[in-house]
């Protein structure tokens, strides 16, 4: 089973902060899924992009609040990084 450790953030949705939910654990679970089904290169690229976005570059950050980027913005950052690899 591949799932986000923290779940789907229903409390954040209830509080009106759903747009600011952190997608990183779901994306990390996707890395494991891709690797499991034999898509090793894709898994590696996604994991590498996540490391760049979360730890190396950190051009934008998820805070769970309006002080950070939205889930959509962070997802686009990750996808743009995957494409550049």
User: Are the C-beta atoms of 30 and 39 separated by less than 8 Å?
Assistant: no
- 49 vs 9: CA distance, rounded Å: 23
- 40 vs 8: CA distance, rounded Å: 26
Per-residue model confidence as pLDDT tens digits over 4-33: 776 678 888 899 999 999 999 899 999 999
- 66 vs 32: CA distance, rounded Å: 30
Is the pLDDT score of 79 beyond 80? yes
pTM for the whole structure: 0.90
- 48 vs 7: CA distance, rounded Å: 23
The pLDDT of residue 54 is 96
């Amino acid at each position: 089973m591949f799932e986000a450790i923290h779940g789907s953030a229903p409390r954040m949705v209830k509080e009106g902060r759903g747009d600011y939910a952190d997608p990183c654990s779901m994306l990390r679970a996707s890395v494991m899924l891709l690797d499991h089904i034999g898509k090793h290169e894709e898994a590696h690229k996604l994991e590498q992009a996540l490391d760049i976005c979360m730890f190396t570059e950190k051009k934008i950050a998820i805070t769970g609040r309006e002080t950070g980027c939205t889930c959509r913005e962070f997802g686009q950052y990750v996808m743009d990084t995957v494409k550049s690899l």
